[in-house]
């Protein structure tokens, strides 16, 4: 599986903003969120989420429609579609 590409846009003592680009067939790799975070989709798209127990679910993204999650979320994120998915992850430093 291809690796998603990431680029840090902002990194201050308050916040880190990372742009994620998931080409078709790519994945972030399994990870645990150490900080509370907001996701802002830049593109529309559909992500496949794989939970630690292997359970798979789909999440629809709409450009500019954000959501918030608390630290501790653990998952892999895959793009099984034929179009690139781009989103920003805004991590709130404690």
The size of the chain, in residues, is 94
How far apart are alpha carbons 66 and 69 in whole angstroms?
10
How far apart are alpha carbons 45 and 59 in whole angstroms?
8
The single residue among 67, 72, 74, 83 that binds a second copy, judged by CB under 8 A, is 67
Tokens 């790799």 belong to 29
Q: Does 59 bind a second copy (CB under 8 A)?
A: no
Residue 47 CB coordination number (10 Å): 22
Site stretch for a second copy (CB under 8 A), options 22-30, 34-42, 51-59, 73-81: 34-42
Site stretch for a second copy (CB under 8 A), options 25-33, 50-58, 63-71, 76-84: 63-71
For a second copy, the binding residues (CB under 8 A) are: 9-10, 12, 14-15, 17, 19, 36, 38, 40, 42, 63-68, 86, 88, 90, 92
């Amino acid at each position: 599986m291809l690796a998603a590409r990431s680029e840090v846009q902002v990194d201050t003592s308050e916040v880190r903003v990372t742009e994620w680009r998931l080409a078709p067939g790519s994945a972030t790799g399994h990870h645990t969120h150490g900080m509370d975070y907001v996701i802002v989709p830049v593109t529309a798209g559909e992500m496949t989420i794989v939970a630690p127990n292997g359970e798979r679910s789909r999440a629809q993204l709409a450009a500019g429609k954000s959501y918030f999650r608390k630290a501790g979320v653990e998952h892999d994120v895959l793009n099984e579609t034929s179009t690139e998915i781009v989103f920003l992850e805004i991590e709130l430093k404690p």
